[in-house]
Amino acid sequence: MIPVLTSIMLDTRRALKDGSFPVRLRLTHQRQRKYYNTGYSLSEAEFSKVQTEKPKGKFKELQIAFQAIEQKAISIIRDLEVFTFEHFEKKYLNAAVKNDLFAAFEQQVKRLVEEGRVGTASSYESASLSLLAYLLKEPLSRNKGLSRAKAIEKKENLLKKRKPLAYASITVEFLSGYEKWMLQNGSSITTIGIYLRALRAIYNNAIAAGEVNMDLYPFGKRKYQIPSGRNVKKALTLADIEKIFSYEPFTENERRARDLWIFSYLCNGINVKDIARLKYKQLDQEKITFIRAKTERTSRQNVKAITAMRTTEIDEIIERWGNKPTYSDDYVFPFLEPGLSAERERARIQHATKTINKYIKRVAATVGIEKNVSTYTARHSFSTVLKRAGAPIELISESLGHSNLKTTESYLDSFEDDVKKQFAARLTDFRVADNNNKDV
């Protein structure tokens, strides 16, 4: 078989608008040459730095990416029984798509939307855009205050500059640099963790599909470890919860927000999405049974139904705000209606959550609660109050619908200061004993 020569070269025959030149894969066979786009473009000086023996920073990342592209071409050529440019192109162009992380993100987002998991799809899309902004060294998109049209325009302008991102480019150095850049741009450790877990999931899918060699995997011990945000304690004390229960709202919006926050707290910390999806057929005389939307797909093998016991307060809230008449297949609360698309359902739930949070914060401020109270606070307060009451962690875990105890432990808040003081005083009980002995 006549050999096929491969190389990564800078095509300086025609400059691009920004003055750079396209980086291409060149194949030479029987004195015929063909060039294939890699999606990269560099200046001559930049390409020279990539070609050095020990490039640094982004030039090292580019060198790895170029080597991966060339190795992929060599692998395709090796597997062809008879080489022709036509046969090579069919396999190479398909492989190029598979070796592009951004293309993988797009496919994952599309798949999630089709499954109705619009919120998760949005998170993956944000992760992809963040990685693109890092590669282009552009400021993170801040859409607050922008109209929807302007926000979309900013996003589209960023996507126009997108280039392929090879799996081999995701190194420990790349990930560490991304984390540092995100922090410098004002992102929290929690956000960084969410985005990088999405990236890791995409990478794991590629390995499972046989598209990436496990040796390139950059995550794990002695490699890059995704940071975990510090667990900010969100639970309220019983004294603060009592203030919310006792508060007499001034407006209907405050009353609705206060009541739905209490409903969430009393119903095992049920979130707004599950409140909105709740139907009358899930209520019986003593309890409310539901499955968390969050775990419907992630725990298919062992879906856990959550049971919340009905109380007088719960029944009064349903009577006050629930749909009438109470048909079995009707939603309990008037947030949704049958036939909504996944996007419309998500928009309705987001609006409801935003409205509840807006007014429950007003209630909290009015009664003198200094913590940032939200619908999420109700869930943490439910689990933490049970803990403080001495409930077994297994019961709390089951009530929250968690699949393991570690998840539950991360929810549980620390004890209140007055409880700590009581136990701290016990540490010096011997002084009391000594004084009593002296009196004798």
Structural domain count, the chain: 3
Tell me, yes or no, whether 330 lies in a domain: yes
Residues 94 and 118 in one domain: no
Residues 135 and 87 in one domain: no
Residues 350 and 242 in one domain: yes
- Residue 276 has a pLDDT of 95
- Residue 317 has a pLDDT of 95
Residues 251 and 362 in one domain: yes
Alpha carbon 199 to chain centroid, angstroms = 10
How many Cα neighbours within 13 Å face the side chain of 383?
27
- Residue 275 has a pLDDT of 95
The answer to whether the beta carbons of residues 326 and 434 sit under 8 Å apart is no
- Residue 244 has a pLDDT of 94
Residues 317 and 359 in one domain: yes
- Residue 138 has a pLDDT of 80
Q: Which of 158, 182, 216 is at the close of a domain? A: 216
Q: What is the pTM of this model?
A: 0.59
Residues 85 and 130 in one domain: no
Residues 294 and 392 in one domain: yes
What is the full per-residue pLDDT of the chain (440 aa) written as tens digits? 678 999 999 999 888 877 889 899 999 998 899 998 887 888 999 999 999 988 888 888 888 888 888 888 898 898 888 888 888 887 776 666 677 888 889 888 888 887 778 888 888 999 999 999 998 888 766 655 556 566 667 777 777 777 888 888 899 999 999 999 999 988 889 899 999 999 999 999 888 877 787 888 999 888 999 987 655 567 888 899 999 999 999 999 999 999 999 999 999 889 999 999 999 999 998 999 988 887 665 544 566 788 889 999 999 999 999 999 989 999 999 999 999 988 899 899 999 999 999 999 999 999 999 888 999 899 888 888 888 888 888 887 878 777 677 767 766 655 556 665 666 666 666 555 555 555 54
Tell me, yes or no, whether 146 lies in a domain: yes
Torsion sign, CA atoms 39, 41, 46, 48: positive
Residues 290 and 409 in one domain: yes
Tell me, yes or no, whether 434 lies in a domain: no
Tell me, yes or no, whether 272 lies in a domain: yes
Three-state DSSP state, 306: strand
Residues 162 and 26: their CA atoms lie apart, in Å, by: 22
- Residue 175 has a pLDDT of 94
Range of the domain at 373: 238-421
Alpha carbon 138 to chain centroid, angstroms = 22
Residues 28 and 192: their CA atoms lie apart, in Å, by: 44
- Residue 111 has a pLDDT of 84
Tell me, yes or no, whether 435 lies in a domain: no
Number of helices and strands in the chain (H, E): 18, 5
Residues 184 and 140: their CA atoms lie apart, in Å, by: 10
- Residue 423 has a pLDDT of 63
Residues 266 and 377 in one domain: yes
Residues 134 and 53 in one domain: no
Beta bridge partners of 35: 26
The answer to whether the beta carbons of residues 379 and 308 sit under 8 Å apart is no
Residues 33 and 70 in one domain: yes
Residues 272 and 417 in one domain: yes
Torsion sign, CA atoms 367, 372, 377, 381: negative
Residues 122 and 349: their CA atoms lie apart, in Å, by: 15
